[in-house]
Structure 1
Amino acid sequence: MRQVELIRAQAGACESLGSPFYAHLLEQVADDVAAGGPAAAVLAGHEDAPGPSALALRLMAAVHRLVLTERAPALAAHYPSVGGDGDAAAAWPAFREVLEEHQELIRAGLASPPQTNEVGRSAALFGGLLQVLARAQRPDLPVRLVEIGASAGLNLLADHFTYLAADGGQWPRPAGGGSTEGVTPGGARPATVVLDPAWESRPLGIPEGVEVVERLGCDLAPIDARSQEGALSLLSCVWPDQTHRLDRLRGALSLAAEHAVRLERAGGGDFLDRLELVEGQHTVVWHSVMWQYVSLEEQQRMLARLTTLGDAATPDRPLTHLAFEPRRLAPGAPHRFVVAATTWPGGTECLLGEAPPHGVPVRWGDPTR
């Protein structure tokens, strides 16, 4: 049965990406579906759902939401996201009971695509931006930050995060040369998001500060990070044994309450058609791990629009397209998650580094060399 195969594939992905808790539960879900148990009843009608729809993760997020809202106390005892013991084997009987008791709620939750708004990917995006600015003709220009597929727009706050490198480096550098722990630009107050390690090494020559004058993005289903419902939607999609990711997300949600981000409900093509360059500002259009969910026609439309905008770029109103996306670096080679930047005037793409799918840590340097 294809549905069972896809659930087992997701279990393997969770295992390889550091979530043994979900890996075990998803194997049990697959067995239950094959046996016609409550998991099969919950997933009925989705037998032909394609792999990219992430049906297994939609199921897990719907159950996690019940845990986070205290509607599944027996299961919560095993979910690390709420202080549980992380015992996946002990969690399965309670998980199965939740599927039986809350079947309709969970089935309704399957309609929501998983949106983690993965904050760790800022390590790749913002680290790439710092290197673009270090090489720019006008490194003094303020940045206008634009995101396609922005979800809740949390990565548009990337300049407020602290980035620690495994080699001991940091961005921003601590004020006064003191401790590097938990400081923000200017060292004014503790950082709510610290990516540690964000990078294997701190890139050479990057600017010590970035002025972001505008933050805007688009998404087909934008999430209001300032609302209780929006925060819950994001938290439920994070794998519960990866508490470091939950900590980063909670920190970013705290920042979102303080800093405005403008989001539009729109596809990338329509959004970019309305975008224009601004004199005296460096427009940066970025995105992460969303390209494969967009049709080829929409991809081509967005790239064509970026090229048109790039043709109008000048040193006083440059454009950068910055992406952290999976790609094959050679025909038939496995996908690798690569940081790539194209800046106009010029329009030449540069591969800056690569990272795991969740964005940390980044290894800088051209991955083809």
Structure 2
Amino acid sequence: MDVVEALQRQATACEDLGSPMYAELLRLLVDDYEVGGASAELLSEYEGRSFGDAIGLRLLAAVHGLVLSGAAPELAAFYPSVGGTWDPVLGWEAFEQVLRSRLGEVRSLLTQPPQTNEVGRSAALYGGLLQLVAAVPLPVRVYEIGASGGLNLRADRYRYVADGRSYGLADSPVVFDPAWSGQVPSVDLRIAERVGCDIAPVDPLTPDGALTLTSYVWPDMPDRLARLRGALEVARQVPADVRREDAVSFLRGLELSPGHVTVVWHSIMWQYLRRVDRSAIEARLTELGAQATESSPLAHLSLEPHRVLTHEHGSDGYVYRVDLQVWPGGTRRVLGAAAPHGQDLQWHVN
């Protein structure tokens, strides 16, 4: 995919998901790139990369990080995340100036893997976990691939409000209201282990780690920023083990545990994996599933995009499904669907 197409697609996604600022900024980047401006000097080497490389998000996060750290005060006046107001003319001039004046620094930041540890996806993972434990009432071991900072590993420590009921931790600083539509059971959920892996994990307990995670939140989306800041507070209270390891190696070292249900979960990370790695992960889950028993079951829970044909337009689109597969037996269920950041979550009637 060429850079212009990647930026245009990302602009559409930002617009659809509620960030008019980033949608506008990405379209201004397209114009700048096409005339050989500052962005061309930064991004031309990314021609031919896959959309999953998220080059647009990497660039925006790199600059947002400079704003959040106080290193780009001339741009801060236009970023709502630090109290500014976006202006497409003056804001773009300041953004372009940052690209030119900090070219080497921004280029270096572009090499880092995307770290979109979106807390909103916890609602899908937690709600799926409740449905699993209703059927398999055992303590849970959660193993997350592509865990980033491990914020979703603390999903049970957030509060979810739906249909007049409250789930999770009542006094949590992270609140989803409304969390979802549809029914989920209220069960006694106990997480015995919280372990994740990432090729470039972020430590949310450090100032640099918190800055990195915040930089990937879109500046004009205050609800997402509030959830992230609450999740960083929870992370300081609830330990989770996130290892620097690729997903295939991580799962090859995973074993089942008697008296526990072992859950492998992930959210919006499948696109970042090579096809060969996806196949290896699926093979390892099948292998572990063959070893599963009623006293040591295995579950695979995910929130990932699936391509569908939209009949209205005769073109491909995506549905972001919450899927659950449980062994022994390997039974698969589609539990529901949500938007990419976890909002508009709708559970299916079973």
Matched residue SS, 1:254:
helix
1:48 deviates by: 3.2
CA deviation digits over 1:89-114, x for unaligned, max 9?
Answer: 43111111111111111111111122
Partner of 1:169: 165
Partner of 1:31: 31
Cα RMSD over matched residues?
1.8
Q: In the alignment, is the contact (CA less than 8 A) between 2:2 and 2:49 conserved in 1?
A: no
Corresponding letter in the other structure for 1:192:
P
Distance 2:120 2:174 in 1: 10
Partner of 1:232: 211
Q: In the alignment, is the contact (CA less than 8 A) between 2:182 and 2:348 conserved in 1?
A: no
When residues 27 and 8 of structure 1 are mapped into structure 2, their CA distance, relative to the original with a 3 A threshold, is same
Partner of 2:5: 5
Distance 2:251 2:113 in 1: 23
- Bigger drift between 231-240 and 40-49 goes to 40-49
1:334 deviates by: 2.4
Corresponding letter in the other structure for 1:253:
L
Q: In the alignment, is the contact (CA less than 8 A) between 2:149 and 2:204 conserved in 1?
A: yes
1:202 deviates by: 4.0
Written as runs of structure 1 = structure 2, the 5 A alignment for 1:45-194 is 45-136=45-136, 139=137, 141-165=138-162, 167-172=163-168, 184=169, 187=170, 190-194=171-175
1:196 deviates by: 2.2
1:168 deviates by: 2.7
Distance 1:110 1:312 in 2: 42
When residues 228 and 129 of structure 1 are mapped into structure 2, their CA distance, relative to the original with a 3 A threshold, is same
Matched residue SS, 1:197:
coil
Partner of 1:217: 196
Matched residue SS, 1:350:
strand
Matched residue SS, 2:116:
coil
1:151 deviates by: 0.7
Corresponding letter in the other structure for 1:346:
G
1:339 equivalent among 322, 328, 337? 322
Distance 2:48 2:277 in 1: 24
2:332 equivalent among 320, 333, 349? 349
Distance 1:294 1:49 in 2: 13
Partner of 1:257: 236
Corresponding letter in the other structure for 2:203:
D
CA deviation digits over 1:312-356, x for unaligned, max 9?
Answer: 212211111111111135797522100010111221101100000
Q: In the alignment, is the contact (CA less than 8 A) between 2:123 and 2:342 conserved in 1?
A: yes
Written as runs of structure 1 = structure 2, the 5 A alignment for 1:286-365 is 286-328=265-307, 334-365=317-348
1:206 counterpart = 2:186: yes
1:196 counterpart = 2:155: no
Distance 1:6 1:326 in 2: 17
When residues 31 and 258 of structure 1 are mapped into structure 2, their CA distance, relative to the original with a 3 A threshold, is same
Partner of 1:270: 249
CA deviation digits over 1:122-178, x for unaligned, max 9?
Answer: 111110110111122xx1x2111110111111100001000122x333214xxxxxx
Q: In the alignment, is the contact (CA less than 8 A) between 1:197 and 1:360 conserved in 2?
A: no
1:42 deviates by: 2.5
Matched residue SS, 1:199:
coil
1:41 deviates by: 2.0
Distance 1:329 1:26 in 2: 26
Q: In the alignment, is the contact (CA less than 8 A) between 1:125 and 1:322 conserved in 2?
A: yes
In structure 1, stretches of 5+ residues that fail to align are 173-183
- Bigger drift between 4-13 and 150-159 goes to 4-13
Corresponding letter in the other structure for 1:20:
P
Q: In the alignment, is the contact (CA less than 8 A) between 1:123 and 1:361 conserved in 2?
A: no
Q: In the alignment, is the contact (CA less than 8 A) between 2:147 and 2:196 conserved in 1?
A: yes
Matched residue SS, 2:179:
strand
Q: In the alignment, is the contact (CA less than 8 A) between 1:24 and 1:89 conserved in 2?
A: no
Q: In the alignment, is the contact (CA less than 8 A) between 1:224 and 1:230 conserved in 2?
A: yes
CA deviation digits over 1:38-84, x for unaligned, max 9?
Answer: 22222242333332211111111111011001111121111011111
When residues 347 and 232 of structure 1 are mapped into structure 2, their CA distance, relative to the original with a 3 A threshold, is same
Please report the TM-score for the alignment, with normalisation by the length of structure 1.
0.89
Please report the TM-score for the alignment, with normalisation by the length of structure 2.
0.94
Q: In the alignment, is the contact (CA less than 8 A) between 1:169 and 1:202 conserved in 2?
A: no
When residues 330 and 23 of structure 1 are mapped into structure 2, their CA distance, relative to the original with a 3 A threshold, is closer
Distance 1:253 1:10 in 2: 27
